[in-house]
Chains A and B, each alone.
Chain A
């Protein structure tokens, strides 16, 4: 081997060892520096993408839009009827709450944000949202959508305008969960390589004779210090009983292929 090649190899190995021995904090600093350098490109890229989308929408054929309008008119009438019905139910609900003397209705303080893009990695399930520390978002906060739990905040950008969300479908995102109508409690997480098509989650550490059946809903327990209680996670698909514990497969309530608006939970009163 040529001396220059040997020196290069030794330097490379030294650099690799240096990188491998970085602490979590040092890694976060490196990531912050990396994304700070990347932010101008990401911003201009996102703007270009938005403009391109707007242009495509504008050029949509007017007849197509007319036809769509015709279809939507009866739908609007139907939804108005539903709205009236919902208002009646809401009033009734408020009266019942009052009657039960609830001290306070359970609610979350949330920050609404938009999913900007999916991070380009093969094995990790993360998305980027347009809310960061400037809007009070911090790491390890729960992220919800209208349908249930989406994941948790994994990283905040230095600029304070963006953050990265680790999705519930990732193996690393673990949630303490309970099964509706049963005393069963377990740990729910994504599956390795299980993001193709409809992702399925794994609910582990249920009791050996867990009395759970397909169709039962799964919610967060509120234990563990990250996720608030009673957030919908999904629905049981099947149960596999073992000698020491049981496992269930859960279909998530959120459609991860079509994530738009999400909400970061800043605090919760319960």
Chain B
């Protein structure tokens, strides 16, 4: 269990490195695969709540370290209406929220129905982007959602979701290597059927 938890943390950190080299798809409204979020979501459904919260903290904290912008700078008498920054650390809460969402269907995952988790990962990414956009709009004022932005969020969620089966396959392999079962009920059912 501990070995598996540590591996998921390492996997999340590796996702940060790989994410740097994943380009945006210009033909698909600049959407991109959010690998960090995907790894977190897939791991969140396979671990207990304390590990999920640890992963959420690490994921959100490093995501903000990667993306946070500096102060505006310049003469405040010229730039009277400066654009507000989002506070460092907001992603920690968003990751936490997504993690709880994924844990909601953990019973289904434990029964071996990982397909629902894969589907929910796409929905969670969409909700994550929508929440992020809503926070930006709230902090900076003036809510407007145009079609390209909506499509960007949609394509990003879909692209990310498409990779979730691959991630689950990897997690099953890792769990096997760590002598840990991430869907114990499915294993019990298989054994029962074998009898």
Contacts and interface: CB of A to CB of B under 8 A. Distances in A.
Interface in B19-71: 19-24, 26, 29-30, 32, 34, 48-50, 53-54, 56-57, 60-62, 64-71
Interface string A16-51: 101111101001101101100010011001000100
A225 B74 contact: yes
Interface of B: 16-17, 19-24, 26, 29-30, 32, 34, 48-50, 53-54, 56-57, 60-62, 64-75, 78-79, 81-83, 85, 87-90, 92-93, 96, 129, 132-133, 136-137, 140, 142, 144-146, 148-149, 152, 156
B79 A41 contact: no
A224 B68 contact: no
A155 B49 contact: no
A187 B93 CA distance: 34
A140 interface: yes
B88 A12 contact: no
A79 to B, nearest CB: 30
B88 A120 contact: no
Contacts of A154: 69-70
Most buried by B among A31, A122, A189: A122
28 contacts: A7-B50, A8-B53, A9-B53, A12-B53, A16-B89, A20-B89, A20-B90, A20-B92, A22-B89, A27-B65, A30-B88, A31-B68, A38-B16, A41-B17, A42-B20, A49-B21, A118-B23, A118-B24, A120-B22, A120-B66, A121-B67, A124-B69, A172-B85, A174-B82, A193-B145, A195-B30, A196-B149, A225-B74
